[in-house]
Copies of this chain bind each other. A is one copy, B any other.
Amino acid sequence: MKLSEILIQSQIFNGLDESSIVHLLMHTHYQMKTYEKDEIVFHRNQDLNWCMLVISGSVRGEMSNIDGKILKIEDINPGRVIALAFLFGTNTKIPVSVVANCKTEILRINKVDFLRVMQNNTKILTNTLQLISDRSKFLANKLYFLSMKTIKGKYASFLLEQMYKDSLAINIQYTQEDLSEVFGITRPSLSRAIGELVSEKIITIKGKTIIINDMQSLKNYANQ
């Protein structure tokens, strides 16, 4: 697949046609870089001067502290720019770490070059503005999720988000280990919380399927 064909589907170049993208690439310094599974793309508090677009594979943004506690922020899949929301601030230190989930190809554009492109192209600029704004909202909601909810509340919110078409049976594709990192808690604590929801007869678990028995109580836990 040609690079421009991938870029045409990216968030940041959304709305541009292929010829514009090809033209942009010709006048920009860029390079491709490949990361292996679990390779660190950059560390929290490192300076970042690249606009990095995921071409293939996947990376994750996460925070960890000295005690080994891990908080996974999100996965970043092809077509998305890494740390876009942090790129134009007054200092260049990035507040998250980014790690490759698997073998991943990343397109790197020099930050100054990217700034120039953005200022010359209204579409890219409004895309950027919208993307950063959405990211701020994402972070603010994450803040609420992480510091205002109990573990049962987090799991309840998660289930309600995963619901599809009002069906009360939800198929879960994440392990408890995955979820505990996203919730910023330990795995046994999550397991206990789920066990309590089951013994309160609010949910029933059948393999990878969760059935909601008592929607009202679940919503109360999720406080929504």
Q: Closest B-chain residue to A88, C-beta based?
A: B133
CB pair A128–B130 under 8 Å, yes or no, is no
CB pair A223–B144 under 8 Å, yes or no, is no
- How many chain A residues touch B (CB < 8 A): the figure is 42
A71 at the interface (CB under 8 A from B): yes
**Interface positions of A from 138 to 152, Cβ below 8 Å from B:** 139-144, 146-149
A-B contact pairs, 25 of them (CB 8 A): A63-B148, A66-B223, A67-B223, A71-B147, A71-B148, A86-B133, A86-B140, A88-B133, A89-B134, A89-B137, A90-B134, A93-B137, A95-B137, A95-B140, A95-B141, A95-B144, A119-B126, A132-B132, A132-B133, A135-B136, A136-B136, A139-B140, A143-B146, A147-B184, A148-B184
A223: chain B residues within 8 A (beta carbon): 65-67
Q: Closest B-chain residue to A118, C-beta based?
A: B129
A146: chain B residues within 8 A (beta carbon): 143, 146-147
| Distance of A121 from chain B, by nearest CB (Å) | 12
CB pair A143–B63 under 8 Å, yes or no, is yes
| Distance of A95 from chain B, by nearest CB (Å) | 4
| Distance of A88 from chain B, by nearest CB (Å) | 4
A96 at the interface (CB under 8 A from B): yes
Query: Which 7 residue pairs of A and B lie closest in terms of their CB atoms, listed nearest first?
Result: A89-B133, A85-B136, A95-B140, A88-B133, A139-B139, A89-B134, A88-B129
